[in-house]
Structure 1
């Protein structure tokens, strides 16, 4: 991977100007996100509830407090369930705007833990995301000469960069902090992270009407020798004369233990059940 100089200071939160803030704001307006706010913060993190990913992983009282609030909202005190669903929501909040920026404009924000901040609402849910100004881009990007740009030679390099900064830098500390609290093994948590990547690319690709392109990119991010590898398990569903892509997750998030039906992408759900409920296969 060819790397070129960029500005120092990953924790530059000034996102009010181009190019990265503009990319993320365009991504927010480009798709059909329903009631999901893909990217709603383009300024300096201020006020209650904001924490960097690094602070979340190192501050036990902060993380424990968030998990307690999240568990109360979910209606459970089972640590495996609370921790698993918290991780699922956290990873979606971090990955969705980043995937959209990659699919739309081939720009990848730096997801190192010092350069990512989240605002957690009163229920313990990660409601907003902020990232620093550093980003990776291709040589033909109109902002390739920007001092915050890290210019990479190819789309494959962009995929590897995303994998390295997310799975190699951001994810290890998060999983190390959550593992004793979820009482789930590291393999299961890493499989949930694989699922989060595959889900984010599929859901974002569908919302942007660029599904085929997005799922191809997901395969690249999760391919060997990336720091996080695993099968995407995408497959086509045909129902009532229409065709749609869904997937089978590698790990169960334990949502069913809240007394609900299993997710349609859950490995516990049969292929017949998935096909019968095809109109809802985009459910997160």
Structure 2
């Protein structure tokens, strides 16, 4: 076990909803997330479409036809790809900004690409759960303006729309907050715009409560989808939720691309999975090693994704791959990425 040092990730404290998504973008890997309604063309569908039998069967049909996949492989692929598109923005926002976007499918669109995989998420609402310490609430403002932002001292903030920060509420005669007050923030003042608000669902007091909200949002969004997928293939709950858990674990580890901390994502993931089981019992485990003098964390999935039925090869994170082989593969993968490469 590699000891963890300086593993606490400090939130970047960005301004509005769109700025939050831009801050976590490097950790979304080959996917991305946007704020607002996308153009109706170009493969975008409402997340609620996958709750209809016709929509779900159509998505599975694309995967089966494109990859010559069995029903089980198609369901496994769809579960992993869709889950990654949902949990990626939520997990990275939680770790890096201490904000949790609302994952109600009625307010989300996803983009389906050739072959049936999803590469983008659009949040059509700007609803987020934040912390009492969030800069959107703590930026210094005149008393009369502060009274508009917080209903009562120490009390929860519910269903209120805030500008990107208190800076947007300043009269012309009042200057913006001193950026020195936000040593860990990104986007002050350049990132602050009045058209990038946040609709605060709730402001919570501690990280544990915010983490519980993250768990409930992820499970609440994906549980009905997995229930609809379950009868369509001979895959149990452990396999389906294992696919979700793998995407959650990967999202946590990818936060290192923004935080620069090689341990924080793993520790945050451990705390998340402790709160999310059940149903995320088949969680990934970690493979820690040192490569070229630097600590890395790789992942062993808790269930098989069945990719070997299409590619004739087990993926690196597969539970059927021996630890030594996995580490060798990860070392090669790190070297191919160049500076900043991760074992993910």
TM-score exceeds 0.5: yes
Is the 1:103–1:205 contact (alpha carbons within 8 Å) kept by the matching residues of 2?
Answer: no
- The answer to whether 1:91 aligns with 2:83 is yes
Is the 2:296–2:343 contact (alpha carbons within 8 Å) kept by the matching residues of 1?
Answer: no
Partner of residue 196, structure 2: none
Instruction: Provide the C-alpha distance between the structure 2 equivalents of 1:133 and 1:227, rounded to a whole number of angstroms.
Output: 29
Is the 1:163–1:227 contact (alpha carbons within 8 Å) kept by the matching residues of 2?
Answer: no
The 5 Å alignment of 1:58-73 reads: 59-73=52-66
Q: CA RMSD in A?
A: 2.3
- Give the number of the structure whose alpha-carbon radius of gyration is greater: 2
* SS across alignment from 1:228: coil
The 5 Å alignment of 1:71-220 reads: 71-73=64-66, 75-131=67-123, 132-144=125-137, 145=149, 147=161, 148-149=199-200, 150-167=202-219, 169-206=220-257, 208-220=259-271
Instruction: Provide the C-alpha distance between the structure 1 equivalents of 2:284 and 2:114, rounded to a whole number of angstroms.
Output: 33
Instruction: Provide the C-alpha distance between the structure 1 equivalents of 2:343 and 2:76, rounded to a whole number of angstroms.
Output: 17
In structure 1, runs of 5+ residues without a counterpart are 1-17
TM-score by length of 1: 0.82
**Residues 157 and 211 (structure 1 numbering): CA distance in 2 closer, same or farther, change over 3 Å?**
farther
Partner of residue 23, structure 1: 20
Is the 1:98–1:109 contact (alpha carbons within 8 Å) kept by the matching residues of 2?
Answer: yes
Residue 72 of structure 1: how far off its partner (Å) = 2.6
Residue 24 of structure 1: how far off its partner (Å) = 0.4
Residue 208 of structure 1: how far off its partner (Å) = 4.1
Instruction: Provide the C-alpha distance between the structure 1 equivalents of 2:77 and 2:303, rounded to a whole number of angstroms.
Output: 12
Instruction: Provide the C-alpha distance between the structure 2 equivalents of 1:72 and 1:207, rounded to a whole number of angstroms.
Output: 37
In structure 2, runs of 5+ residues without a counterpart are 1-14, 138-148, 150-159, 162-198, 335-341
Residue 250 of structure 1: how far off its partner (Å) = 0.4
